[in-house]
Homo-oligomer: A and B are copies of this chain.
Amino acid sequence: MNKPVPNDGTVGKALQVLDLVASLGRPVRFTELLRLSDFPKASLYRFLQTLTNQGMLSYDPKNQSYAPGLRLVRLAHSAWRQSSLAPVASPYLDALAKEVGEAVHLAQLDHGHVLFVDKRKGTGNFDTLAAAGKVAPSYCTGVGKAILAFMPAAPRNLALQQQAFLKYTPATHDTIGGLENELRSVRQEGIAFDREEHETGIISIAAPILIDQKTVVGALSIATSTSRHKLSDLKAYRSVLLTTANQIANAASTWQFPTQN
């Protein structure tokens, strides 16, 4: 009668709670969570207990609030090293950032959203997790469109359904049709642009990372602000961007884990 989301069992529900806490981005108290979720009081309470003493959440007794726990940071380290392109791509990002002197982003798709897995700052050094883990919509970012454009139709349509199509700026696509048109041209040119679609004043040029020229596994972008560059300036990076994306693709496809015989 009521299976609105096909949860997988207790674990699924617990993770739902975890997500909720994480999504709020600040410590939350029990009552607030109770309002936001639709778990009964006792159940929610038990989930929080369990998650907390598993280290997935941390609890501050002083102001009785929950926040995501450090165990997640530990786990994410493995995830980042194994399941993301970041470790393989790292040297190429270094080189690209050095060459162009602008911010460089590496992203992958996760549940229809863009997940940044690494970046290089425009000027100098990088912060690891500061950028890694950040999410953004895919319909209005360079990397997002680059990935969407090169996905097989079936998963792409699924991903398109998940887009919120909020109009962040005047330039943001707010219809699925408009986006699909652009994706077609992205597919032809092999490059996507962010024309201040997510944040006013921020533009980027992005290329998909294609393994065997076919399977898209992520995207790479050079981003800057309109105060430093015009969109037309970015087009000059097309070639170096495509080259780097290709290098990363090669490195990624070559680098297989020793599957322990």
Residues of A within 8 A of B (CB): 8-12, 14-15, 18-19, 21-23, 25-29, 32, 47, 49-51, 53-56, 58, 63, 65, 67-84, 86-87, 90, 108, 110-111, 115, 117-121, 125, 127-135, 257-260
Contacts and interface: CB of A to CB of B under 8 A. Distances in A.
Pairs of residues from A and B, 3 with the lowest C-beta to C-beta distance, nearest first = A77-B133, A76-B76, A68-B79
A201 B249 CA distance: 36
Given A26-B257, A26-B258, A29-B259, A18 B75 contact: yes
Given A49-B8, A53-B8, A56-B15, A129 B80 contact: yes
B70 A83 contact: yes
Contacts of A83: 58, 67-70, 73
A11 B8 contact: no
Q: How many protomers of this protein does the assembly include?
A: 2
Contacts of A131: 77, 128
Contacts of A77: 76, 129, 131-135
A10 B121 CA distance: 42
Contacts of A11: 10-11, 14, 47, 50-51, 54
A135 B18 contact: no
A250 B5 CA distance: 45
Contacts of A29: 259-260
Contacts of A128: 118-119, 131-133
A75 B78 contact: no
Given A84-B70, A110-B55, A129-B133, A78 B260 contact: no
Contacts of A22: 74-75, 78-79
A253 to B, nearest CB: 12
Contacts of A135: 74, 77
Contacts of A69: 79, 83
A83 B128 CA distance: 16
B79 A73 contact: yes
Nearest to A258: B26
Contacts of A32: 260
A65 B27 contact: no
B76 A75 contact: yes
Given A26-B258, A72-B76, 10 more contacts: A11-B14, A11-B50, A22-B74, A29-B260, A69-B83, A73-B117, A73-B132, A76-B79, A77-B132, A128-B133
